[in-house]
Amino acid sequence: NAGVTQTPKFQVLKTGQSMTLQCAQDMNHNSMYWYRQDPGMGLRLIYYSASEGTTDKGEVPNGYNVSRLNKREFSLRLESAAPSQTSVYFCASSYISNQPQHFGDGTRLSIL
Amino acid sequence: AQSVTQLGSHVSVSEGALVLLRCNYSSSVPPYLFWYVQYPNQGLQLLLKYTTGATLVKGINGFEAEFKKSETSFHLTKPSAHMSDAAEYFCAVSEGGTASKLTFGTGTRLQVTL
């Protein structure tokens, strides 16, 4: 029972580097989400995909792009990393948008 | 627009004492409400949810929450705290439509002392 799998678990980047965070779910969920978690700020939605083939901006999309590769996979890309993007990133999925979300264990990203 | 306010970023209780974590929400339509728990270095796990129907909702690990529309509240309680309850707890609101999204509160860290 893998649920939501995120890779990598940890990453250190230099300012200006790019990278892609990977997320895959095996629960046949239609909706997928990317959040960032910062101390004292809760979880903030970066992008989401209500269904395969669609993506929409969340609360804090600047500096990020996403790809819904297929029903299982939803990736998050940082094109030119900035120190302000140091955070813990969580991927989540749900059967449909108004149903409870299942979360991965997160990717801890540090940008120097 | 929907929003969530969690009163108290840190709550400390003694083992065996009542746990009360407060959550107030704002929503322009009847809300869906959720409580999640996060243990260190892990993702969030669903504790309980309210969508429609009975306003007192029971969840996992002995937690429950009551939806009070008149007070726009959804406080989380547990009669007797256990050391294993130490974690961060997040309240979240959704407006329930098929295209809706969750809005999370800023979280409450629960400490349980002997």
Q: Assess B49–A contact: CB distance below 8 Å, yes or no.
A: yes
State the DSSP H helix or E strand holding residue A64, giving kind and residue range, or none if neither. Answer: strand A64-68
Tokens 């094109």 correspond to A79
Pairs of residues, one from chain A and one from chain B, whose beta carbons lie less than 8 Å apart: 55
> How do residues B8-30 score in pLDDT, each as one tens digit?
999 999 999 999 999 999 988 88
List, as ranges, residues 60-89 from A with C-beta within 8 Å of B: none
The tokens for A75 are 């990736």
Query: What share of chain B in percent tops pLDDT 70?
Result: 96
* Lookup result for tokens 């050391």: B83
Between B53 and A25, residue with greater pLDDT: A25
Q: What is the pLDDT confidence band of residue A41, given thresholds at 50, 70 and 90? A: confident
pLDDT at A1: 63
| Cross-chain Cβ contact B32/A98 below 8 Å | yes
Confidence tier at B49 by pLDDT (50, 70, 90): very high
- Distance of CA B95 to CAs B3, B6, B52, B80, B99, Å? 10, 18, 12, 32, 9
| Cβ contact, residue pair A40, B49, below 8 Å | no
Strands laid side by side in the A64-68 sheet: A4-7, A19-25, A74-78, A64-68
What was the pLDDT predicted at A7?
96
Specify the pLDDT at position B9. 93
Search chain A and give the residue with CA nearest B94: A98
pLDDT at position B101 is 81
Contact A96 B98 (CB under 8 A): yes
Enumerate the residues of chain B whose CB falls inside 8 A of the CB of residue A92.
43-44
The predicted pLDDT at position B99 comes to 60
Residue among A98, A102, A103 with most chain B CBs within 10 A, to mutate: A98
First to last CA, chain A: 35
Q: Answer yes or no: do A42 and B34 touch at CB < 8 A.
A: no
pLDDT of residue A2: 76
Q: Which two tokens stand for residue B3?
A: 């929003």
- Percent of chain B past pLDDT 90, that is, above it, reads 78
Please give, rounded to a whole number of angstroms, the shortest distance from the CA of A97 to a CA of chain B.
Answer: 5
Contact list, B10 vs chain A (CB under 8 Å) = none
Can you give the length of chain B in residues? 114
Long-range Cβ pairs for the range B59-64 (8 Å, 24+): B59/B35, B61/B37, B61/B85, B63/B19, B63/B35
Residues B92 and B77: their CA atoms lie apart, in Å, by: 16
Instruction: Tell me if B100 and A98 make a contact (CB, 8 A cut-off).
Output: yes
Mean pLDDT value of segment A80-101: 91
Where residue B82 falls (left for φ over 0; alpha for ψ -120 to 50; beta otherwise) is: beta
pLDDT for A98 equals: 75
3-class SS at A65?
Answer: strand
